[in-house]
Copies of this chain bind each other. A is one copy, B any other.
């Protein structure tokens, strides 16, 4: 088993702003934005039985602050609609933008804020890619963040679980950070990071989410889809739904991969919960062999089973990513798996787009896009 020194504590590290200054050469030039705004895509309309009555008989007191009762009396008649399960998109188009925009989809428990900023206030990938002249479309998936209007009920539990996510997002073993971690470890930044989380307002549903992204590509035409974590599986489904419009897929530490029937590998064990590979039809799988794909994994991922949650959870996913890449490429596809430490980029957590070296990784991706001719 891989042994890793974990020594940096929340309390001890106070130098993050110095680290920041040396890792990122911030660009202070203004952003010149030709157009920006937001809109929704996809979704369904749910209708209640009954007939809407705009002048219902309301028998309650007329003088109280009884808005909720009035609301209830009004909807009791039914015959009303609910527009839900859409995605919300915030977009910015810089002047002289490249032809292919980047579409960014967040992961579990997150929103489009994943891409906007960093916990210590440096620029996120939104700004960094605007500076590289890409148009940027940020997604809040159906039933998350701005897209909170769900067509199914949901209960939200205010259960303290920050430490679980600290482990799963591979910051370290709480309260210790990984020794080489490329993340701002000061208390204020860590609090900002935890406060990025936002819950599902309806059950997570890959079909609903990929349908909304399909509608987005229908609206904007071709584009490059960038996914994070749980969003990875949605990204593969979107590529299958819109193979002619999703021009490339960039997956940051995706959670699972769609294997073609007959070539599905065994589940991989972990003491922290295993992973059973996803399956799709060979016809659907083949669509992904026509799309250039790059998959990134960060640092502090173990080669062998580890007692540290983050090391072990991403060990099994990196292993599955490599198996999947081999199969896609065997069938004529173009998948690269980049394990960042092997290209000299160290210390990355599960949130590499927010890490202290997020510019370096943006540059790596930018070079790949250029290599594939996707930066025109």
Partner among B52, B65, B88 whose Cβ is within 8 Å of the Cβ of A174: B52
Cβ-closest chain B residue relative to A46: B160
Task: Count the copies.
Answer: 2
Does A214 count as interface, using CB distance less than 8 angstroms? no
Pick from A65, A86, A90, A174 the residue with the most CB of B within 10 Å: A65
Do residues B113 and A158 form an inter-chain contact, with CB atoms below 8 A?
A: no
Do residues A267 and B164 form an inter-chain contact, with CB atoms below 8 A?
A: no
Does A4 count as interface, using CB distance less than 8 angstroms? no
Do residues A267 and B37 form an inter-chain contact, with CB atoms below 8 A?
A: no
Do residues B54 and A167 form an inter-chain contact, with CB atoms below 8 A?
A: yes
Do residues A36 and B127 form an inter-chain contact, with CB atoms below 8 A?
A: yes
Taking CB atoms, residues of chain B closer than 8 Å to A40 are: 192, 195-196
Cβ-closest chain B residue relative to A112: B146
Do residues B90 and A116 form an inter-chain contact, with CB atoms below 8 A?
A: yes
Do residues A164 and B74 form an inter-chain contact, with CB atoms below 8 A?
A: yes
Does A47 count as interface, using CB distance less than 8 angstroms? yes
Q: Given the known A-B contacts A31-B36, A37-B117, A156-B153, are A54 and B163 also in contact in the complex, defined by CB atoms under 8 Å? A: yes
Cβ-closest chain B residue relative to A273: B70
Q: Given the known A-B contacts A88-B113, A198-B148, are A75 and B164 also in contact in the complex, defined by CB atoms under 8 Å? A: yes
27 examples of A-B residue contacts, CB within 8 angstroms? A31-B32, A37-B117, A37-B124, A40-B196, A45-B191, A55-B308, A58-B273, A62-B271, A63-B268, A64-B273, A65-B256, A65-B276, A66-B274, A67-B273, A71-B164, A75-B161, A80-B163, A80-B164, A81-B163, A83-B194, A140-B146, A148-B197, A148-B201, A149-B197, A154-B155, A154-B156, A154-B158
Q: Which 8 A-B pairs have the closest CB atoms?
A: A148-B198, A70-B273, A63-B267, A83-B194, A82-B160, A63-B274, A80-B160, A40-B195
